[in-house]
Amino acid sequence: MPPVKKMKSNSGWADLNLDFSTDEVEQIKLNDCKKIIKRTSASTVVNINNEFESVFKKRNKQGNSLATLLEACDPTEPSHLSVSKRKQNELSDWLYQQKIQAGKPRILILSGPSGCGKTVTLKVLAKENNFEVIEWITPSDSGIYENYTVSKQADKFLEFLIRTTRYNSVLENDRSSRRLLLVKDIPNVYFFNKDSFHQLLIDYLELGREPLVFICPDSEGSRVQFSLFPTDIIEKFNIDIINVNATTSTAMKNMLKRVSTILNDKGGHLLNITQHSIDEVLSNGIGDVRSTLLNIIFTSLKVPVDNKLKSDCGLRGESLGLLHGIGRVINPKRIYDGKLWKFSHDPDEIAAYFQSQASIFLHFLHENYLNTMGKIEQVDYCSDIMSLSDTISTEWRDPNLLKVNLSLCIRGAMVLNENPVTQWNPVRKPKSIEFKSQRDLGVAEERWYKSIIRPKPSQEQNNLDNSIEIVDD
């Protein structure tokens, strides 16, 4: 029996698996309709129209969002591309060959640095050659639908390749254009089962009809090419490879010149791109068009300047080392104001510096807190705090508890040490007692297992064995 579907009502969860008679349902519908008709009036109709107008106005205002600006900057002609002319010609020739050889699928690997314009170049040149680019977007690993069936990621990918290449879409307007399959993200399941991926390529070359392009960034290119596209597979399936170089500074400058005009025109109320900001972004460029475009947008945003923030933006934040932090805890300095006092260094700020290495900081504090305490009463209370800290440290399931433990230990050691002993006390490294105890326990456990598996023979058994050997001789 399938599970019961439920819906959320105002009073709580309503069960839909109830047995209503037809008459009761009809009566409920009539009552609801009467209530709706009574509430409806001319004023509500006017309010609805006003709401629709406000929604459309909001949508028009959202037209100048960041996504819209980036979409306006997309190149539409080959002259707008930042890829070199030679690589454009190579890709155009490959697309032209696929256009001539209709019905014969070919595979292309388009590799290059991240952000150099591989995908945009392919889409622009494909449009020039009358190709419709259909891109594969990796879904979640498994999806549960209304009929409670589970589909695997590999099955979805195979279905995408076969259906896209063999069946036309109902929504297509231009049936004369051919389709080009684009895969930027290969499903992870094939990295663990390479044979199934190679079998997928065989099936596609037999059943497919359209060209297939895999885009491999350099950061992942070695993994993809050596794992899924080794040399023997490339030669076996006659796979073509086009490597796109990083964008040159001249091409990047031309791209920014074209983009700055578009952004100032369509997003002038948000941006103010100047030649100074362009030169600043170009000086930090690394051949990544995507990163450069985002940098020029963020550096040119019209943000109200706060004088206080502007004066502090050039200051460098304090970098607190481990030994320096231990010194501040075991030698706390106080600032007195009459009968009141406060620490010159806030304990919570010290704890915030070492949240990522809290256990190491606590080990150092355990080793060095006795060096600066002059009274046994202080040592007594502080040792209780350290013992409590050790107990809290054993609870590893809550990461926030470790942060609270660090703050408690630091604050307790600083408050109790009212008059630190002033002498040369270098910070000592904690002893590796934990590792030594683990090693000793391991040796003891190994000896215990050996005593069970291979027990030592008794002295009488040894004498008997020796006498048997003598008789045999």
Question: For the segment 381-393, what is each residue's pLDDT rounded down to a tens digit?
Answer: 888 988 888 888 7
Q: Which two tokens stand for residue 394?
A: 């054993």
Q: Identify the pLDDT of residue 27.
A: 52
41 and 125 in a single domain? The answer is: no
| Closest C-alpha among 116, 111, 136, 123 to residue 220 | 111
Q: Identify the pLDDT of residue 117.
A: 87
Q: What is the C-alpha to C-alpha distance for residues 81 and 90, in angstroms, rounded to an integer?
A: 14
327 and 449 in a single domain? The answer is: no
426 and 439 in a single domain? The answer is: no
Q: Is residue 331 in a domain?
A: yes
Q: Give the number of other Cβ atoms within 10 Å of residue 200's Cβ.
A: 16
Q: Identify the pLDDT of residue 175.
A: 61
Total number of domains in the chain: 4
136 and 234 in a single domain? The answer is: yes
196 and 57 in a single domain? The answer is: no
Q: Identify the pLDDT of residue 94.
A: 92
Q: Is residue 276 in a domain?
A: no
115 and 203 in a single domain? The answer is: yes
- Cβ-contact 359, 317 below 8 angstroms: no
Q: Is residue 326 in a domain?
A: yes
Q: Across-strand partners of 131?
A: 178
104 and 210 in a single domain? The answer is: yes
Q: Identify the pLDDT of residue 91.
A: 92
Q: Please tell me the total number of residues recorded for the chain in this structure.
A: 473
369 and 456 in a single domain? The answer is: no
The residue ranges of the chain whose pLDDT is under 70 are 1-65, 140-151, 169-176, 219-223, 304-319, 395-397, 432-441, 456-473
Q: Is residue 303 in a domain?
A: no
Q: Is residue 87 in a domain?
A: yes
Q: Is residue 467 in a domain?
A: yes
378 and 329 in a single domain? The answer is: yes
The residue segments making up the domain with residue 395 are 322-431
Q: Is residue 162 in a domain?
A: yes
- pTM value is 0.51
53 and 119 in a single domain? The answer is: no
112-144 per-position pLDDT tens digit: 888 888 889 999 999 888 888 888 887 755 444
Query: CB pairs under 8 A, 24+ apart, for 218-222?
Result: 218/111, 218/112, 218/113, 218/114, 219/114, 221/111
